[in-house]
Amino acid sequence: MYALKPESSRSRWVIVCALAALSLISAVIFWHSLAASTFLRGYDAYYYAVQADFWFRTGRLRIPDSSVVLYAIGALQYFGISGEMAVRVWAAISLLLFSLTFILLVARCRSLVIAIALFAWALVSPSIAFIAVELPKTFALLVLMNIALILVTTERIRLLLLIPVLALMVACHKMALVYAGVFGLVLALRFRRLRVSWPRGRGVAYAALVAVVVCLLGFFLAGTLGRADLLRIKGTNLMPGLVSLLVQSGLPMALRVEMVFAFFVAAAALLYRGDNGRDWRERGLMALLLLTAFVPAFGDEPFNFGERFAVMFPYLALTTGAVLLRRVAFEIGTLVAGAGLAAALAASFFRLDYCCPERINPPYDRYAAVTEDLKQLDIPMLVLHRGMHFYYKYETRRDAFSYEPEPHWDKARVWRLVYGATPEELFTYLPPGCTWGEEIKPLRDRDYNLVREDCFAAFRAAIDKDTNPQLYALLRQNDMNPSKPRPAFLYAKHASDEPEEFPALPPGK
């Protein structure tokens, strides 16, 4: 195994410990930045807070989800912190775990400068911090993939150790099946130059065993993979995920710049031939992993199927460099390397601002004001737009829904947060019996009105597309006013729900 400063084992461990200390400092700074924000950072952040809080209080998740990450976040509340703080602490812990496992990956580099350069990139990477904040379940894969890459690129691959790592990846997120499949494919090819821990001729059988075990554990740990999951991959958008992500208007500029930089780093690492092609099996593995960033988008919404793979492209380029350039003997002054690390640590103070700027956060301050009004009212079930859904749910611990209500629900006990309809429009189209102050309640934020669902259904039905096309589109084609039914794949997740007032499926089904 190659290592930092191979001529001095002691100096190598001093460097490793120094990098670990920098990782800890950076993680603490990151946590402090998150804690200093009034609201959580991230579009789905309050989904994780809701799940953690509900699991901690009841022993089950509020919304069916198979990821073990949610249980890990919930378990942090045993230290006396809120679900909101647990999400922040988990982001910092997972970022620290990522840095520590990445140190083990770059510690094999012969060149100290290359190792430190890659580590410094990981320390300031906007995409890595972005995933830690926005996609905690996906970020857990990065930590585990560091370990998997270490295991699979050593001189003697340890399949028995690789199996639980890949299985845990699948238990964190189902998209890990794609990465596990890549590892399984490379191992199944049983290259002649690959030395495996078992006798020659049995490599294919054991590689197949890896694939079978990972898939089986995927079914048991990550939920049954069937038609319900395939329904999520829909649409005709065949644009490569990386391209689709880059054309998203809301993507922070720092991530765009890093994506372009990562492309050149990955290309340079793949084209490097300093070892006369001796590592061509590893080159194939990293090339296949990089190609996952180009799977089709299959959707027009932000962070659709393909974009969730594409956002990992800088990380994959980073690890490609760590794996393929680890035998390069290249040195410059240690003073330059130290200056790079100091600059990377200084950037930690601004990392949250350039990876997840406030402008891409939902307007939680506005949602907080509306929620304060809603807390004063008796609302068994509230239909509201997805941006505010989980924030309201976390703050009130009440039921909320961001799709069209189910037909079997009692509409007299369901209320709708209507966006954009003026009082004049409500008075014009509301049926008799729906009165102001009773079935219609104004809020301090004049863009919103609270309307009982049976009255809202009559109000929406009375609007003609030809006579009032603007209001018609507002209520039926604007995401601020939910009008789409619950996606089909979600019903399978609710099949074993406990009895409740507003079940996903009709009673008896």
Nearest to 417 by CA among 453, 462, 459, 471: 453
Estimate to the nearest angstrom the gap between the alpha carbon of 462 and the chain centroid: 41
What letter represents residue 251's amino acid?
A: L
CA angle 314, 315, 317 (to 5 degrees): 65
Burial string for 18-35 (b: 16+ CB within 10 Å, else e) reads ebeebbeebbebbbebbe
> What is the rounded distance in angstroms from the CA atom of residue 409 to the CA atom of residue 411?
6
Asked whether 225 and 218 are in contact (CB, 8 A), the reply is: yes
**Residue whose token pair is 């998203």:** 248
**Which H or E run contains 264?**
helix 253-271
Q: How many CB atoms lie within 10 A of CB 339?
A: 12
Sign (positive or negative) of CA dihedral 297, 299, 302, 308: negative
Sign (positive or negative) of CA dihedral 118, 120, 123, 126: negative
> In this structure, what token pair is assigned to residue 429?
């189209």
Nearest to 463 by CA among 454, 471, 455: 471
Asked whether 447 and 372 are in contact (CB, 8 A), the reply is: no
pLDDT by residue for the chain (509 residues), tens digit each?
A: 344 544 455 667 788 888 999 999 999 999 999 999 999 998 889 999 999 999 999 998 888 888 999 999 999 999 999 999 999 999 999 999 999 999 999 988 888 888 888 999 999 999 999 999 999 999 999 999 999 999 888 766 666 778 888 888 988 988 888 888 888 777 766 444 444 444 444 555 555 555 555 555 554 444 444 444 444 555 556 788 888 888 887 888 999 999 999 999 999 888 887 655 456 778 888 999 999 999 888 866 777 888 899 999 999 999 999 999 888 876 665 666 677 778 888 888 888 888 888 888 899 999 999 999 999 999 999 999 998 999 999 999 999 999 999 999 999 999 999 999 988 888 888 888 888 888 899 899 999 999 999 999 999 999 988 888 999 999 998 989 999 888 776 766 666 666 678 887 787 66
> In this structure, what token pair is assigned to residue 332?
């410059």
Asked whether 252 and 356 are in contact (CB, 8 A), the reply is: yes
The conformation of residue 407, written as its DSSP 8-state character, comes to T
